[in-house]
């Protein structure tokens, strides 16, 4: 059966009519995984037997009743491993609890299914820093799927998952969605609980869906959003149906085009596809407004001070004492800490911990960390002012299509700059979505996807979903 190719709404109709059972979907997915995953390496593990038990008990009257959802390996699912793509948690940790998003999915009838690959502790943009091997882009196996949620994007793009959850700290949902040709939604900070997400940078992290289409992202957002007393940053907001009005089009909307996102560095073929999508939105009745976000020029610098600083603090818990990798025969307590962390963490994680510790150290805290926080405030205020004039902002997701695996292996700065268009949304806490808007032809004559980024005002996911649905319609 080709059930693994279908959308959530299509599968839900078949499930509620009795034409198929949830186990039929799982069988189709497991067959697809067996065929494709050895080459792609998106799934780290999956438990078909447990998933089928959950499927047999699924309440098909619920909004996601019977739908399997793949889970990024930094989101806790009770009884399952949660490695964060790192040796430091390999084989030594099984989650004793569910993240709030997992409980919300289960309450909506969904079936958490499988652990998918990621950059180690979500630090990366290529899914090459995983301790369990790199993930390959299904559109071209020689290329990266993006990161850090590369496994989530790749499994959806390869139809090895109906949908997946990822996390986005500086673009880690939207960038791989763009590279793999799927839809990736980063909700507003505070919209979705972070309880049970292994923290990278607590003031930036947000969980969101990667799906085959915009409507599916809205359906999953309905399930996972809401206030959570277990997360002090969770925002109280009225219950919403994010699918409402999704097909209302963009007529009369004002869409801002930031000149800073269309300057040097963007590949001309990528820009051509983005420009084409903008013209399509204008043809649908949107007013295109030129805007400026000058403080975005400082976003990358501010982000790579704030995020490593928070990571330095968050990852201090991995010390070989309570859980995780513990070095053998340490000479003393200091050697236990040093050797356990040196053996367990990969090079990118070590780099960011060192950088974060430095900017928080005595004598440098004010010069770097405090100044970066001030820049962050300026960026947030700049977005607030712009959203007084426009309904949404349109831009590329990334400067280029998916790069070749290993292309920036020895150039971490180049990898950091890959998130130049996505980082500002995390610093400001606003929602963003990547929607496929075309393809470009690579040197090897393969068609590589291009994503269009749509940013909205804080807590206004419905507007970007509505614009995204229009993009999806005109691009299909």
Task: Reply yes or no on whether the pLDDT at 453 is more than 90.
Answer: yes
Confidence of residue 1 (pLDDT cuts 50, 70, 90): low
Extract the tokens encoding 322.
């309570």
Catalytic, out of 108, 172, 193, 340? 172
User: What mean pLDDT is predicted for residues 199-214?
Assistant: 98
Task: Reply yes or no on whether the pLDDT at 415 is more than 80.
Answer: no
Catalytic, out of 72, 87, 134, 186? 72
Residue 299 Cα to chain centre, angstroms: 19
CB proximity list for 125: less than 8 A, separation 6 or greater: 119, 146, 147, 148, 171, 172, 175, 415, 416, 418, 419
Q: Given this model, what pLDDT does residue 392 score?
A: 98
Task: Reply yes or no on whether the pLDDT at 265 is more than 90.
Answer: no
User: Is 269:333 a contact under the CB 8 Å cutoff?
Assistant: no
CA–CA separation, 433 vs 171, rounded Å? 10
- CA separation, residue 387 to residues 170, 190, 259, 384 (Å): 21, 19, 16, 5
72 catalytic? Reply is: yes
Q: What are phi and psi of 65, to 5 degrees?
A: -55, 115
* Closest to 28 measured CA to CA, from 64, 58, 68, 61: 68
For the chain, the C-alpha Rg in angstroms (whole number) is 21
For 120-165, what is each residue's pLDDT tens digit?
999 999 999 999 999 999 999 999 999 999 999 999 999 999 999 9
Query: What's the whole-number average pLDDT of the chain?
Result: 96
CA–CA separation, 28 vs 45, rounded Å? 16
Task: Reply yes or no on whether the pLDDT at 393 is more than 70.
Answer: yes
For 303-319, what is each residue's pLDDT tens digit?
999 999 999 999 999 99
CA–CA separation, 430 vs 149, rounded Å? 19
CATH 3.30.450.20 for domain 1-289+393-476, yes or no, is no
Instruction: Provide the percentage of residues in the chain whose pLDDT is more than 90.
Output: 92
* Closest to 435 measured CA to CA, from 145, 258, 222, 180: 180
Residue count of the chain: 476
User: What mean pLDDT is predicted for residues 330-356?
Assistant: 96
Confidence of residue 263 (pLDDT cuts 50, 70, 90): confident
User: Is 128:412 a contact under the CB 8 Å cutoff?
Assistant: no
Task: Reply yes or no on whether the pLDDT at 413 is more than 70.
Answer: no
User: Is 320:336 a contact under the CB 8 Å cutoff?
Assistant: yes
Catalytic, out of 32, 125, 148, 149? 148
User: Is 226:190 a contact under the CB 8 Å cutoff?
Assistant: no
CA–CA separation, 274 vs 460, rounded Å? 22
Confidence of residue 364 (pLDDT cuts 50, 70, 90): confident
172 catalytic? Reply is: yes
Extract the tokens encoding 190.
């505070």
129 catalytic? Reply is: no
For 108-121, what is each residue's pLDDT tens digit?
999 999 999 999 99
The widest CA-to-CA distance across the chain, in whole angstroms, is: 70
User: What mean pLDDT is predicted for residues 426-448?
Assistant: 97
For the chain, the domains span 1-289+393-476
Task: Reply yes or no on whether the pLDDT at 358 is more than 70.
Answer: yes
Task: Reply yes or no on whether the pLDDT at 97 is more than 80.
Answer: yes
User: What mean pLDDT is predicted for residues 408-416?
Assistant: 71
Q: Given this model, what pLDDT does residue 378 score?
A: 98
Q: What's the pTM value of the predicted model, to 2 decimals?
A: 0.97
Q: In what order do the strands lie in the sheet with 68-72?
A: 43-45, 111-116, 68-72, 163-168, 206-211, 183-186, 432-441, 447-455, 392-396, 254-258, 287-291
CA–CA separation, 450 vs 259, rounded Å? 19
Confidence of residue 407 (pLDDT cuts 50, 70, 90): confident
């Amino acid at each position: 059966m080709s059930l693994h190719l279908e959308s959530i709404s299509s599968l839900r109709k078949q499930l509620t009519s009795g034409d198929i059972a949830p186990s039929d979907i799982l069988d189709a997915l497991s067959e697809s995984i067996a065929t494709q995953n050895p080459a792609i390496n998106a799934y780290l593990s999956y438990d078909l037997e447990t998933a089928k038990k959950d499927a047999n008990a699924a309440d098909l009257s619920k909004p996601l009743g019977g739908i399997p959802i793949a889970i990024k390996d930094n989101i806790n699912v009770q009884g399952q491993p949660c490695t964060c793509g790192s040796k430091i948690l390999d084989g030594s940790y099984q989650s004793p609890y569910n993240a709030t998003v997992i409980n919300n999915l289960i309450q909506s009838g969904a079936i958490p299914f499988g652990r998918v690959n990621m950059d180690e502790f979500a630090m990366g943009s290529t899914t090459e820093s995983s301790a369990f091997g790199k993930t390959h882009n299904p559109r071209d196996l020689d290329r990266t799927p993006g990161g850090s949620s590369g496994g989530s994007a790749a499994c959806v793009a390869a139809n090895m998952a109906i949908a997946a959850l990822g996390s986005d700290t500086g673009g880690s949902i939207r960038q791989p969605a763009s590279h793999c040709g799927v839809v990736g939604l980063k909700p507003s900070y505070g919209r979705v609980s972070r309880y049970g997400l292994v923290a990278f940078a607590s003031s930036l992290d947000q969980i969101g869906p990667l799906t085959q289409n915009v409507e599916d992202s809205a359906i999953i957002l309905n399930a996972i959003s809401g206030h959570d007393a277990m997360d002090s940053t969770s925002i109280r907001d009225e219950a919403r149906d994010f699918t409402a009005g999704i097909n209302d089009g963009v007529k009369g909307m004002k869409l801002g085009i930031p000149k800073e996102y269309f300057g040097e560095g963007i590949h001309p073929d990528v820009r051509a596809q983005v420009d084409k999508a903008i013209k399509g939105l204008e043809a649908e009745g949107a007013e295109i407004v030129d805007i400026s976000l000058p403080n975005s020029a400082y976003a990358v610098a501010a982000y790579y001070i704030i995020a490593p600083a928070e990571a330095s603090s968050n990852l201090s818990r991995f010390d070989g004492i309570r859980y995780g990798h513990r070095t053998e025969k340490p000479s003393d307590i200091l050697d236990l800490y040093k050797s356990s962390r040196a053996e367990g963490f990969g090079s990118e994680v070590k780099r960011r911990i060192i950088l974060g510790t430095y900017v928080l150290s005595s004598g440098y805290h004010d010069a770097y960390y405090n100044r970066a926080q001030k820049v962050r405030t300026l960026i947030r205020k700049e977005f607030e002012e712009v959203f007084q004039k426009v309904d949404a902002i349109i831009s590329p997701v990334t400067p280029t299509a998916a790069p070749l695996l290993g292309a920036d292996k020895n150039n971490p700065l180049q990898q950091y700059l890959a998130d130049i268009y996505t980082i500002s949304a995390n610093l400001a806490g606003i929602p963003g979505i990547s929607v496929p808007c075309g393809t470009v032809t690579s040197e090897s004559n393969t068609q590589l996807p291009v994503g269009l980024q749509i940013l909205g005002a804080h807590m206004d996911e419905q507007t970007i979903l509505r614009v995204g649905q229009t993009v999806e319609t005109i691009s299909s």
